[in-house]
Structure 1
Amino acid sequence: MDRMEQILKSISSFLWGAPVLILLAAVGLLFGCKTKFFQFRKFGYILKNTAGEMFKKGGGAKGKEGTLTPLQAVSSALAGCVGTANIAGVATAMVVGGPGAVFWMWVVALLGMLTKCVEVTLGQYYRVKGEDGVYYGGPMYYIERGMGRKWKPLAVIFSVTIILGGLGTAAFAQPYTMSTAVQNSLGIPAWITTVAAAVICGVVLLGGVKSIGGFCEKLTPAMCLIYVVGVLGVIIINLEHVPAAFAAIFRYAFAPMPAVGGLAGSTVALALRQGAARGTFSNEAGCGSSPITHATAITDHPFKEGMYGCFEVFVDTLVVCTMTALGILCAGPEIWQSGLEAEALTMAAFSTAYGSTVGKLLVTIPLALFAFSTMVGWEINYESAFFYLFPKGKQSKVFKYAIRILWLVPGFLALGKTPQVIWTIVDIVSGFWCIPNAIALLALSGVFMRIYRDYESKYISKTKPVSQPLEYVGKD
């Protein structure tokens, strides 16, 4: 391990030790207590008003203000968070932190469902309509408009970390994992896949936010379904290993795992850190990225869009990530203890059910789609952060094309790097952008609760007329 890799690991260990974990847990627990854990009490209601509404014409929204339909917004946000972390990232977490990392991934997701609901709600509430007709929102807007102009430096810091984080995660890590998987599975050189992805992504980005939303609306549901069906086959064929898989998850969540097979062993702290970091990177709850995309959505109440945040975390982590983990563990100890890492471990698990050739394809194709969709969907966040820092850029075609071209560059820089280094970099940048967003969520907890109570009285308890407008409590 060279000096730079050691430094990166030290930074990652510090960030995903006490600082970020305590902060995100505090946010999740605070809003859980304030809403009496709405995500658990009203889980059926959430599904009914998200999954049950978004495929209807207009997404079930009565309001006319917004840029993307709810389906386009949730598809773009899911495209941004359902990425290679769901396949390669989960495998890496289990290699480094052991099966117990999956348990802590679940804990982060259960708390994160409401955290994401809060940030999406605030993103909708404080959004603004740009001169180009597109709606913009997210932490940089609710920091400045909700907390006051004196907090603008924090909004600027967040915007800078989103730009750097987007370039490091979606534009750097995703193309790397995609091109490496295609090379290992199909023998196509990594640089060819990277070039092809950059060209196709560039074409989609030319049309702006609406083009991205339309593209993700078609791709995201299909790619999730393909992968879930594929991994279900692995679990069903290895059904006898399911009890042992769950036993390993719960056992090593609270006890150190000894060195076995090709694994070096792990501590409880390492399992917790790996599960929390990988889960947070995957579902992005508390990171402040999804509110930027959801701020563009057409809806008639901020909290209604906020519930899509709960739905996203559920799909991303509690469904897709869990399926990956169970698929790997159900393949047997000879697979998950083999020492393989990233997508190679997932491919080995699929091969036990479908054979080597088909198994590799059933991982490579969804992996490539997940990675590509993240490249496309996450660009909305990156571009919005640029426009917050440089408002006049919205009116400049040259500026727009320049930042979109810049988005395509990091994929080429990732060629030749090792998986551990890639995911360590991802942990660092995602840790940095969580901090200013979490501060804002805590500061604006009172605003969120007023929005939540307004929605509850209009749509759940129905004690207030729906036609009564939501009082604006933001600061100019």
Structure 2
Amino acid sequence: MNDASVLPVLAALNDFVWGWFLVVLLLGTHLFLTFRLGFIQRRLFQGIRLSFSRDGGRGQISPFGAFATALGGTVGTGNISGVATALVAGGPGAIFWMWIGGFFGIASRYAEAVLAVRYRHVDEAGERIGGPMFVLRKGLHSPFLAIAFAFFTVLSALGSGNAVQANSIALLADDTFGIPTYISGLVVAGLTAIVIFRGIRGIAVVSELIVPLMSAVYIAGCLYLLWILRDHVPDAILRIVQSAFQGEAAAGCFAGAGVKEALRYGSARGLFSNEAGQGSAPMAAAAARTPNAVHQGLVQASTVFWDTIILCALTGIVLVAAGDWLNQSDGMLLSMTAFKRIPHFGPELLNLCLYPFAFTTILGWSYYGEVAAEFLWGRGSIFWYRVAAVATAWIGAVVTLDAVWIVSDLTTGLMALPNLLAMLLLSNQVKRETDRFIDRVEESDETLP
């Protein structure tokens, strides 16, 4: 069966999974948890401050290490080509729904992190691991949903976590520097192997070094572009907001599809970017040395702020203000065209940012995948999963897959379904933990097992 025959099947399956049910469930969960937890977003700056707090409790990595790993796992092509793809497919209104989903998604990220720490597990090696699969098994007593989530996590880690990122790196290196994709693939695979075979501690160390620096560089580049495009920025912001409610056909779409496509693609790409509600980042939270679940929940919630409210917002405004989305259908090339407006080194700056962004995403998702593999097949499977992760990074770089974004949307949606269910049904537990620790989270000496 060739790619041409598989693509319609995957597209139809993706349309079914990402129908109105999942969109409503995702945004509805964000809204429900926002109000159920007393608008936890108001604690956002406390979470940012706690990101740099001292270690406490038991775990493998520091709270900041868990923060950097989770942010590294989310800040990748979703912030660059993912935003561009949402713009092309759903019009400017998709950017607005990405912001809305990100803002309210802070509550979901907080809740899933709290549950992950509360239900984390000590494995055969004495390491603390966790995530929605343990929440589903121990909290909801649903082995079937736990296994399903872990299985979809493995697929998503190897696909959107590894192959998508490696593919973006290879295409940009080829387009900008003329480096053959197989060489880029070998470099990415080699660097991935060096880090992930050191485990979560190695991943956290690399993420702590790379993620803050590259985020600052990318933000500076976007701000410079906004200065260059300053005459178009007000109209771009207005167009984004208006298109979210009035509709505006995207490139290649027929008139009238605007609002529906904006909401759908904004929600899907927003989830791919910040992963709030998907259940991936809580696996990093579960490995943190944290005094209590609420402490790490606030830390992890701040990753959505940096990812969507800051990075995706800047990218979206730049792309709409530049105006190239009306004539360009390729997300990565659209981003590249916008950055070419920076004199002398624009494309090189985008490459400089994308490579480490995508690389840290590969690292973060490699850890998520190995936690899921250990849950499914035991600790002995970790070595073989790491081998598969390295191989997938190379394959993703050298193989052109028209279905790559469809598969990414599909696997993220299939992960989100059981995780959202767990958060809704266990929201009372999150509320109790929040009420217990929220007012003394910074000085509490209590630890969780």
Give the TM-score range, shorter chain: over 0.9
Residue type at the aligned position of 2:365: W
**Offset, 1:310:** 1.9
Residue type at the aligned position of 2:82: G
Are 2:90 and 2:250, in contact at CA under 8 Å, matched by a contact in 1? no
**Offset, 1:363:** 1.1
Find the partner of 1:87 among 67, 80, 85.
80
Helix, strand or coil for the counterpart of 2:341? helix
Deviations 1:140-166 (A, max 9, x none): 111112123xx1121111111100111
Correspondence for 1:382: 369
**Offset, 1:469:** 7.4
Residue type at the aligned position of 2:375: Y
* Counterparts in 2 of 1:468 and 1:179: CA distance versus 1, 3 Å: closer
* Counterparts in 2 of 1:4 and 1:469: CA distance versus 1, 3 Å: closer
Correspondence for 1:140: 133
Helix, strand or coil for the counterpart of 1:218? helix
C-alpha separation between the residues in 1 aligned to 2:260 and 2:249?
Answer: 14
**Offset, 1:457:** 4.7
Correspondence for 2:287: 296
**Offset, 1:304:** 1.1
Residue type at the aligned position of 2:39: F
**Offset, 1:423:** 1.0
Residue type at the aligned position of 2:59: G
1:97 corresponds to 2:79: no
Alignment of 1:147-158 (within 5 A): 147-148=140-141, 151-158=142-149
C-alpha separation between the residues in 2 aligned to 1:79 and 1:72?
Answer: 10
Find the partner of 1:126 among 119, 127, 137.
119
C-alpha separation between the residues in 2 aligned to 1:264 and 1:421?
Answer: 22
Are 2:124 and 2:379, in contact at CA under 8 Å, matched by a contact in 1? no
C-alpha separation between the residues in 2 aligned to 1:147 and 1:400?
Answer: 26
**Offset, 1:456:** 2.9
C-alpha separation between the residues in 2 aligned to 1:129 and 1:455?
Answer: 23
Residue type at the aligned position of 2:315: T
1:211 corresponds to 2:202: yes
Helix, strand or coil for the counterpart of 2:232? helix
What is the aligned-residue identity percentage? 31
Helix, strand or coil for the counterpart of 1:378? helix
Helix, strand or coil for the counterpart of 1:408? helix
C-alpha separation between the residues in 1 aligned to 2:189 and 2:333?
Answer: 24
1:431 corresponds to 2:413: yes
1:452 corresponds to 2:439: no
Find the partner of 1:221 among 207, 212, 230.
212
C-alpha separation between the residues in 2 aligned to 1:203 and 1:382?
Answer: 17
* Counterparts in 2 of 1:467 and 1:171: CA distance versus 1, 3 Å: closer
Are 2:196 and 2:367, in contact at CA under 8 Å, matched by a contact in 1? no
C-alpha separation between the residues in 1 aligned to 2:280 and 2:60?
Answer: 17
Find the partner of 1:317 among 299, 308, 317.
308
Residue type at the aligned position of 2:23: L
1:240 corresponds to 2:238: no
Correspondence for 1:60: 54
* Counterparts in 2 of 1:133 and 1:329: CA distance versus 1, 3 Å: same
| Structure 1 unaligned residues grouped into runs of 5+ | 394-398
* Counterparts in 2 of 1:457 and 1:325: CA distance versus 1, 3 Å: closer
Select between 358-367 and 272-281 the one with higher mean Cα deviation.
Answer: 358-367
Q: Provide the alpha-carbon RMSD of the alignment.
A: 2.0
Find the partner of 1:255 among 208, 227, 246.
246
C-alpha separation between the residues in 2 aligned to 1:7 and 1:268?
Answer: 25
C-alpha separation between the residues in 2 aligned to 1:342 and 1:83?
Answer: 13
Deviations 1:252-292 (A, max 9, x none): 111232467x7766521011111000000110011111111
Correspondence for 1:50: 47
* Counterparts in 2 of 1:401 and 1:157: CA distance versus 1, 3 Å: same
Residue type at the aligned position of 1:54: S
Deviations 1:310-354 (A, max 9, x none): 2111111111111111111222x3x22122421211111111232
Using the size of structure 2 for normalisation, the TM-score is 0.94
C-alpha separation between the residues in 1 aligned to 2:412 and 2:89?
Answer: 19
**Offset, 1:438:** 1.1
1:185 corresponds to 2:182: no
C-alpha separation between the residues in 2 aligned to 1:455 and 1:125?
Answer: 13
C-alpha separation between the residues in 1 aligned to 2:65 and 2:172?
Answer: 28
Select between 424-433 and 11-20 the one with higher mean Cα deviation.
Answer: 11-20
* Counterparts in 2 of 1:60 and 1:50: CA distance versus 1, 3 Å: farther
Helix, strand or coil for the counterpart of 2:49? coil
C-alpha separation between the residues in 1 aligned to 2:84 and 2:427?
Answer: 35
* Counterparts in 2 of 1:153 and 1:196: CA distance versus 1, 3 Å: same
C-alpha separation between the residues in 1 aligned to 2:445 and 2:338?
Answer: 54
Are 1:76 and 1:377, in contact at CA under 8 Å, matched by a contact in 2? yes
C-alpha separation between the residues in 2 aligned to 1:468 and 1:424?
Answer: 44
C-alpha separation between the residues in 1 aligned to 2:38 and 2:48?
Answer: 23
Find the partner of 1:34 among 30, 33, 36.
36
Helix, strand or coil for the counterpart of 1:239? coil
Are 2:87 and 2:250, in contact at CA under 8 Å, matched by a contact in 1? no
1:16 corresponds to 2:18: yes
Correspondence for 2:330: 341
Find the partner of 1:371 among 355, 358, 378.
358
Aligned residues: 445
C-alpha separation between the residues in 1 aligned to 2:297 and 2:50?
Answer: 14
C-alpha separation between the residues in 1 aligned to 2:379 and 2:406?
Answer: 35
Using the size of structure 1 for normalisation, the TM-score is 0.89
1:391 corresponds to 2:378: yes
C-alpha separation between the residues in 2 aligned to 1:467 and 1:259?
Answer: 53
Residue type at the aligned position of 1:23: L
1:106 corresponds to 2:89: no
1:353 corresponds to 2:350: no
Are 2:50 and 2:298, in contact at CA under 8 Å, matched by a contact in 1? no
Correspondence for 1:6: 8
1:305 corresponds to 2:287: no
Correspondence for 1:396: none
* Counterparts in 2 of 1:317 and 1:207: CA distance versus 1, 3 Å: same
| Structure 2 unaligned residues grouped into runs of 5+ | none
